[in-house]
Amino acid sequence: DIILRHALRMESMVKDLLRLARLDAGQEILEPVACDTRALIQSVVSDLTPALEGRGQHVDIAIRPGAETLRGDPAKLHDAIRNLVANAGIYSPERTTIRIEARSESSRIAIAISDEGPGIPEDDLTRVFERFYRVDKSRSRDPGGTGLGLAIVKHLVELHGGHVRAENRPAGGATFTIQLPAIRTAPAERIAPAV
Ligand code: ATP
Ligand code: MG
């Protein structure tokens, strides 16, 4: 039913716009804790399993040494990773594999989500994070999103003091990488302040 479909799209667009407005206004407070990286990623994949299985897509998760734990707000990181994995599924053909790799880089933890889809035109690699920006639909499958998902991802990641970037894989497909500052173990954080 086309009217219901439009109503649902409108609802999700309004929800995303309200969230961006709250983020812009600094109204979403970060509640960072130590998170188990695998549990975080696994919970995203579980949420998306019905949609991914429906397209015969498989998810491969690798947690490299040193990336077992990260510091962040689990609900916000869940939303960010979920957006990226959902995109990887939506913009890739059926029966492809989505790879999620968490690794430790000098002072950061990186979470990379790679797919076997069409990738992103080089000129659009930074623009896809802009509000309402969508790659020309003639170039890829168009499932009819609103172009706000990646703007929210960028906001959530930057709230953590991190970065997100898009690249094309040499073998084809896109990789989105979230980089988060590694856990700091400053003395002030370990020792309860004397009052
Ligand atoms: P929504 O707001 O519902 O998420 P959307 O998916 O169109 O809508 P974004 O998630 O912000 O919006 O993505 C912006 C655009 O970037 C998409 O329309 C698509 O053209 C492109 N894109 C995002 N992820 C991928 C990907 N993994 N492979 C290829 N293109 C992608
Ligand atoms: Mg999206």
Any atom of ligand 1 within 6 Å of the Cβ of 149: yes
**pLDDT tens readout for residues 66-89:** 999 999 999 999 999 999 999 999
d(CA 193, CA 47) in angstroms, rounded, equals 39
Test site for ligand 1: of 79, 87, 96, most ligand atoms within 8 A of the Cβ? 87
Q: By CB neighbour count within 10 A (0-12 exposed, 13-18 middle, 19+ buried), where does 81 fall?
A: buried
Mean pLDDT of the region 36-49 = 98
> Which tokens belong to 53?
């299985």
- The yes-or-no verdict on residue 185 having pLDDT over 90 is no
d(CA 173, CA 159) in angstroms, rounded, equals 27
Q: For residue 60, what are the β-bridge partners?
A: 99
Q: What is the percentage of the chain residues whose pLDDT exceeds 90?
A: 82
Q: Whose CA is nearest to atom 27 of ligand 1?
A: 88
Any atom of ligand 1 within 6 Å of the Cβ of 166: no
Q: To which H or E segment does residue 41 belong?
A: helix 37-54
pLDDT at 5: 87
Residue pair 126/167 in contact by the 8 Å Cβ criterion? no
pLDDT at 121: 95
> Which tokens belong to 181?
């500052």
Any atom of ligand 1 within 6 Å of the Cβ of 134: yes
Angle at CA 179, nearest 5°, toward 93 and 84?
Answer: 25
Mean pLDDT of the region 9-23 = 95
Query: In terms of DSSP bridges, do strands 58-63 and 97-105 run parallel, antiparallel, or are they unpaired?
Result: parallel
Buried b (16+ CB within 10 A) or exposed e, 108-140: bbbbbbbbbbbbbeeebeeebbeeeebbeeeeb
pLDDT at 136: 77
**pLDDT tens readout for residues 123-169:** 999 999 999 999 976 655 666 788 999 999 999 999 999 999 999 99
Distance 121 CA to ligand 2 centre (A): 16
Ligand 1 atom nearest the C-alpha of 176 is: 27
